[in-house]
Amino acid sequence: MANYKLQINGRSYETETEADTPLLWVLRDHLGLVGTKYGCGIAQCGACTVHLNGNAVRSCSLPVSAVGTKKITTIEGLSAHGDHPVQAAWHEVDVAQCGYCQAGQIMTASALLAKNPTPTAEQIDNAMNGNICRCGTYHRIHEAITLASSKMK
Ligand code: FES
Ligand code: FES
């Protein structure tokens, strides 16, 4: 067991755990940040996506010991009032069905638009390719990202 200091959503957190504990378990079970979801646990579905220094990463497959001083952003910290342009577009398009995959989808989409505010349709598809939605909301996800992109111009 070791003590880990983490920078999450602009706040400092501490947790004591094993070095190989996935960040996802720390977020959900140790710190109560349950907006980030567990889907597959093997980096195959994207439900657990968070930002690490602005990059979309799979928190189920990232050991807490590998985080260091990098800044973590979870869905809870993406915006102060749920009004990030991607979140606003998600509401406008009414993307969610069961909702389970949606935090991961939004975190992947927001990381894409932060790096490339005007992605092509192909770039959107490539970026979102690893985020699975069992409800099949892919068309609306694409539409919402296009809408968010147009509003961020
Ligand atoms: S739970 Fe992490 S990618 Fe599926
Ligand atoms: S909205 Fe149900 S899994 Fe995506």
The ligand whose atoms approach the alpha carbon of 57 most closely is: 1
Q: Determine the pLDDT at residue 74.
A: 98
Partners of 2 in the β-ladder: 17
CATH class of 85-152: mainly alpha
CB of 141 closer than 6 A to ligand 2?
A: no
Q: Return the pLDDT at 153.
A: 76
- Residue 68's φ and ψ, nearest 5 degrees, are 60, -130
Sign of CA dihedral 70, 132, 142, 74: negative
Place of tokens 């889907």: 39
Q: Which CATH superfamily is domain 2-77 in?
A: Beta-grasp domain (3.10.20.30)
Number of the ligand closest to the Cα of 136: 2
The answer to whether 71 and 53 are in contact (CB under 8 A) is yes
Return the domain boundaries, the chain.
Answer: 2-77, 85-152
pTM of the full structure: 0.97
Structure confidence at residue 152 (pLDDT): 86
**Which residue matches tokens 């993307």?**
95
| Ligand nearest to the CA of residue 98, numbered in listed order | 2
What is the rounded CA–CA span in Å between residue 151 and residue 29?
Answer: 36
Probe target for ligand 1 pocket from 29, 34, 40, with the most ligand atoms within 8 Å of CB: 40
Look at residue 76 in the predicted model and tell me its pLDDT.
Answer: 98
Alpha carbons 98 and 109: distance in angstroms, whole number: 18
Pairing type for strands 2-8 and 11-17 reads antiparallel
Strands 71-73 and 49-52: antiparallel
Q: At what angle do helices 138-152 and 121-128 cross, to 10 degrees?
A: 120
Q: Residue 110 is inside which H or E element, if any?
A: helix 102-115
Q: Whose CA is nearest to atom 3 of ligand 1?
A: 43
Q: Is 79 in the pocket of ligand 2 (CB under 6 A)?
A: no
pLDDT for res 86? 98
Ordered per-residue pLDDT tens for the chain, 153 residues: 999 999 999 999 999 999 999 999 999 999 999 999 999 999 999 999 999 999 999 999 999 999 999 999 999 999 999 999 999 999 999 999 999 999 999 999 999 999 999 999 999 999 999 999 999 999 999 999 999 999 987
